[in-house]
Amino acid sequence: MREDFDQRILEINSYFEFIEKIDSGVHIVVNSSDQKQAYTVTAQTELIKTLKANGFVVLYNLIEATVKNAIEAIFDEIDSKSVDFDQCRLEIQRIVLNNMKKRNVDKLLPMVNAIAKDLAGATFRKDELFSGNLDARRIRKAASDFGFQAPQKKSDELVTVKDNRNDLAHGNKSFAEVGRDYDVARILIIKQEVVEYLEDLLTNVEQYLSGQLYLKSPATFAP
């Protein structure tokens, strides 16, 4: 979970550093030997708009991948430790039972006697978690659903990223249109806020897992 996030951050930082350099006036060249300019000033100005707009796609990809991986880590932990269903906190039980509605009952029947140890993993599908709708409000809902702490940091820019990404993905706006509305400095601020928010999210999920907060509290266990 954390390793994947760190690798994605390295890739994203490289991308935004490239945009920042181009925006500062550095020209893209064909090769370093003849320093032949690949783009005219006008063409490069237009290219920057597309690169800036694509930054929202890159950031949204980071948001969705990070949240999905965090939730997957919770299910992996429950599965790897063979946690009994009745040991799971009520929020987790509710999620598992809701997931059952989407699965083939015949395939789940053999697990009923071992419902605790197998059902959580059998009903989980990472690709069904989100579909272009992730922002701070949706993440708070996910945190509430699982019982972990949502990040407390400022999170307004997650909506900005989501909305711009969706406008691009659905063809509501062109890359040039989106890129024209944001200067590089503004996008870098957005990136920093998103990264800090996701770092807090991962820390909270790590604490949730290390403290085994996916389990019922001792007071809720039947005597």
Which of 44-58, 59-73, 105-119, 147-161 is the least confident region?
105-119
User: Does residue 98 sit within a domain?
Assistant: no
Task: Return the pLDDT at 31.
Answer: 63
Query: CA angle 157-11-128, nearest 5°?
Result: 60
Within-domain flag for 112? no
CB-CB contact of 3 with 164 (8 Å): no
| b (16+ CB within 10 A) / e for 62-85 | bbbebbbbbbebbbbbbbeeebeb
Averaged over 91-115, what is the pLDDT? 66
CA distance 153 to 169: 27
Residue from 194, 156, 176, 201 nearest 58 by CA: 194
- Residue 97 falls within a domain, yes or no? no
Q: How confident is the model at residue 177 (pLDDT cuts 50, 70, 90)?
A: very high
Structural domain including 210 reads: 2-81+134-214
Residue 112 pLDDT > 70, yes or no?
no
Q: Is residue 25 part of a domain?
A: yes
Nearest partner of 51 among 88, 94, 19, judged by Cα? 19
User: Considering only 40-54, 77-91, 116-130, 192-206, which range has the smallest mean pLDDT?
Assistant: 116-130
How many domains does one find in the chain? 1
| pLDDT, tens digit (0-9, with 9 covering 90-100), for 40-72 | 777 778 889 999 999 999 999 999 999 999 999
Q: Take residue 192 and report the two structure tokens written for it.
A: 């920093």
Closest CA to 64 of 142, 130, 7: 130
Model's pTM, two decimal places?
Answer: 0.81
Does residue 110 form part of some domain?
Answer: no
Q: What is the mean pLDDT of residues 206-211?
A: 94
- According to DSSP, residue 221 is labeled S
**DSSP count for the chain of H helices, then E strands:** 9, 0
> How far is the C-alpha of 141 from the C-alpha of 202, rounded, in Å?
16
Residue 111, in any domain of the structure: no
Residue 131 backbone phi and psi in degrees, to 5? -145, 75
Cα–Cα distance between 53 and 22 in angstroms, integer? 14
192 within domain boundaries: yes
- Residue 138 domain-assigned? yes
